[in-house]
Amino acid sequence: MAESETHHTLPAPRFDTPTRLLIVVAPYYKDIADQLVLGARTAIKAAGATHDLIEVPGALEVPSAIRLASRGGDFDGFVALGCVIRGETTHYETVCNDSSRGLMLLGLEGLCIGNGILTVENRRQAEVRAEAAGQNKGGGAAEAAMHLVALSRRFSPPTGDIGFKPATDTILIAGND
């Protein structure tokens, strides 16, 4: 069972330059969402970053909200949080697959996103995974986003003095001897 397994996790990133994340949460299961947010906030603070938080109605709206925020906000990364618990219909598969696919497509476009949308069979599984003092999937999603931010910064082209500069302060024009 997942409760007893251990996994290797990378050391949490730390930032000495300003880093701002947006947590986008679907609080359909409010108690579970609150634990996910608590874990994410704690991880972000520990890394020396800051965050904003917005809520959306459900997991399907999380990718759209991230896309909208990426166009107008000044965010380095995004943390997607929510919970989908299997019900009696195929709606579960639709919500799980489409929210995950939306986040993956945004990531492939270059956005730094940590996916903390839980997809579980029952409430107990969600509680175990969400608990900030337990499996802390909210904190893990925040750390994943921050690892991607760090990679993005590492692989970004240098900024600053790029382009052609004259070799001297004096520009010679042909014919003006």
Domains and CATH numbers, the chain: 12-155 (3.40.50.960)
Torsion from C-alpha of 70, 72, 74, 75, nearest 10 degrees:
-20
CA atoms within 13 A on the CB side of 23: 30
Please list the residues that pair with 119 across neighbouring strands: 84
Instruction: Specify the pLDDT at position 177.
Output: 52
Q: How far is it, in rounded angstroms, from Cα 36 to Cα 138?
A: 4
Q: How far is it, in rounded angstroms, from Cα 82 to Cα 115?
A: 9
Task: Name the active-site residue from 7, 8, 51, 91.
Answer: 91
Active site residue 147: no
Q: Which one-letter amino acid corresponds to residue 45?
A: K
Instruction: Specify the pLDDT at position 6.
Output: 79
Instruction: Specify the pLDDT at position 136.
Output: 97
Q: Which of 81, 80, 129 is nearest to 107 (CA)?
A: 80
Instruction: Specify the pLDDT at position 161.
Output: 60
Per-residue confidence in pLDDT tens, the chain, 177 aa: 555 677 788 998 888 899 999 999 999 999 999 999 999 999 999 999 999 999 999 999 999 999 999 998 899 999 999 999 999 999 999 999 999 999 999 999 999 999 999 999 999 999 999 999 999 999 999 999 999 999 999 998 776 665 555 555 555 556 555
Phi, psi of 131 (to 5 degrees): -50, 120
Q: What angle do CA 100, 102, 104 make, to 5 degrees?
A: 70
